[in-house]
Amino acid sequence: MALAALVLAVRMAAGAVGVLKDVWPVVLILVLLAGAAAVWRSRQTAARRRRERERLAALRITLEELDAMGDRRFEYALRDLLVRDGWPARRVGGGRDQAADVIGDHPQCGRIVVQAKHTCVGGKVGSSVMYEVKGTAGPAHKADHAVVVTHGAFTRNAMAWGDRRGVRWVDREKLQRWAENGAALHELLGVSARLRPSWFKRAA
């Protein structure tokens, strides 16, 4: 029985070798084609990512363009600006966003939470927004920095409260410097690298 099995195995191996001799050019061509397709896909992906990086690196958005946006598009624009500045960011705005429309994570500066307020031109953001952001940025999102951004303005009380409690604010003038003139947000706001602020530890 063992001898018969061995003979059968040898015959099968010999048959397989014979088949391979007949089809190996086809197999080789298929392998080469598959490899070429994989290389092409890889290069296409790399080129697309490079174009996206270049687009974001040169991203400039005018105040007029921001004024014309709706709430959702405004949030995506702020996300793209953060990415341009080196903050891998994502839009999270929605019904359960807990006062965070965009969250970005910087390798040196930590995590930033952005609350976007797209108001009518000339509209003002009040202190209640600052209270909300202060109450959720640290506990809910583990953020190191909290920022409220509007293409309008802030009330004096809102700005003063934010300054005292560490909730940064970007009004129309700062937004123009950030989005249109190309200033990096962390430089504009004076966010220090590797410095974990204590704003979320203080009482609101």
The CA-atom distances, in angstroms, between 196 and each of 86, 103, 105 are 18, 16, 13
Are 54 and 67 within one domain?
no
Q: Are residues 107 and 142 in the same domain?
A: yes
Domain count, the chain: 2
Specify the CATH number for the domain of residue 107: 3.40.1350.10
Tell me the residue range of the domain where 177 lies: 63-201
pLDDT at 36: 84
Question: Same domain for 139 and 173?
Answer: yes
Do 41 and 67 lie in a common domain? no
Which tens digits make up the pLDDT trace of 12-61? 656 665 665 666 576 667 778 888 888 878 777 776 666 556 656 678 99
Contact 84, 70 (CB under 8 A): no
Reported as a single tens digit per residue, the pLDDT across 109-134 is 899 999 999 987 678 999 999 999 99
Do 53 and 69 reside in the same domain of the chain?
Answer: no
